[in-house]
Amino acid sequence: MKGQGVQTIEPEMEPARRCVRTGDLVLLVGSDRKTAIVRMQPARQYQTHHGVLNHDAVIGIPWGSSVDTHLGYSYMVLPPSLDQLIRDVQRATQIIYPKEIGYMLMKMNIGPGSTVLEAGTGSGALTLALARMVQPDGHVFSYEVRADMKALAEKNLARVGLDRFVTFRLRDIDEGFDEEGLDAAFLDVREPWLYLSQVHQALRGGGFLGSLLPTVNQVGVLLRNLAMHPFGFTEVEELLLRPYKAVAERLRPVDRMVAHTGYMIFSRALLGEPLLEPE
């Protein structure tokens, strides 16, 4: 089972991974398409409108099968996707959605081993995605000025077992960040332009800055301020996601869609001027 001449590291396929284990996060889907994400723990119960589901009845069964409540109502048992985990975050604020998160990870080169700054933490939806992606060797440093939000995000991350990849800090980021030499920084605050010096200080040379802003006015102010700091290669983009009705005989987009979440801005921390000729 080796590639021809390529030295590859193939993982052992654990048979155990085929079945739900204690501590696993499980996506339960009822036949009414209602979903819940629950961490399986021995002797616990999950209460539904359709009866009680014992965690012990779920632990040990194969992923992709179904299980019944005491009233005989069936739930499909699936591993949740990162998309679903993000949507399931208990939120007190507007969260950043998967369509932007996935693209930003690519543009900001965030993956296993990355060290990432986030400000502010908010409900922790983006924090969760970042923690999932930088593990096991990377780390997320997440700053938040509101203690209640920080507590909520910590709870949300602990719930999915990703809190150990995150350092939460309660801080007015105007005072700056504790880290230096980070790979990437995401500013999820209303006025990111106020913190460009601090962020530059925290990033390594060539590090990635990202932000998501709802209004064109904010984009304009951020662009003007980026031009006054040693950042360069700035890009502004937006993503439109159009879902379809997945019916072969009547295939068509759904009637309504999200028209806007925000404008994505990407930039790179430089050690000098960008040295670019005008376009």
Centre a 10 Å sphere on the Cβ of residue 17 and count the other Cβ atoms it contains.
11
CB of 107 to its own copies, least distance (A): 5
> Using alpha carbons only, what angle is made at residue 202 by residues 229 and 140, rounded to the nearest 5 degrees?
130
Cβ distance to its own copies smaller for residue 52 or 258: 258
Report d(CA 9, CA 30) in Å as an integer.
Answer: 39
Q: Nearest approach, Cβ of 203 to its own copies (angstroms)?
A: 8
Q: Kindly state the smallest distance separating residue 151's Cβ from its own copies, in Å.
A: 10
Q: Are 61 and 19 in contact (CB under 8 A)?
A: yes
109: left (phi over 0), alpha (psi -120 to 50) or beta: left
- The CA distance from 15 to 118, in Å, is 37
Structure token digits, residue 124: 């922790």
Helix axis angle, 98-107 relative to 125-134, nearest 10°? 40
Alpha carbons 90 and 154: distance in angstroms, whole number: 11
Q: Cβ 142 to its own copies, closest distance in Å?
A: 9
Q: Which residue, among 102, 106, 111, 271, has the nearest Cα to 203 in the 3D structure?
A: 271
Minimum CB–partner distance for residue 38 and its own copies (Å): 14
CA distance 25 to 161: 9
Backbone φ/ψ region at 44: left (φ over 0), alpha (ψ -120 to 50), beta: beta
Closest to its own copies by CB, 10 vs 43, is: 10
Q: Which is nearer to its own copies, 43 or 204 (CB)?
A: 204
- Residue 219 CA to residue 226 CA, distance in Å, equals 10
Residue number, 46 or 207, with CB nearest to its own copies: 207
Tell me the closest approach of the beta carbon of residue 242 to its own copies, in angstroms: 5
Nearer Cβ to its own copies (43/273): 273
Output 54 or 66, the one with its CB closest to its own copies. Answer: 66
Nearer to its own copies (CB atom), residue 43 or residue 191: 191
CB of 29 to its own copies, least distance (A): 7
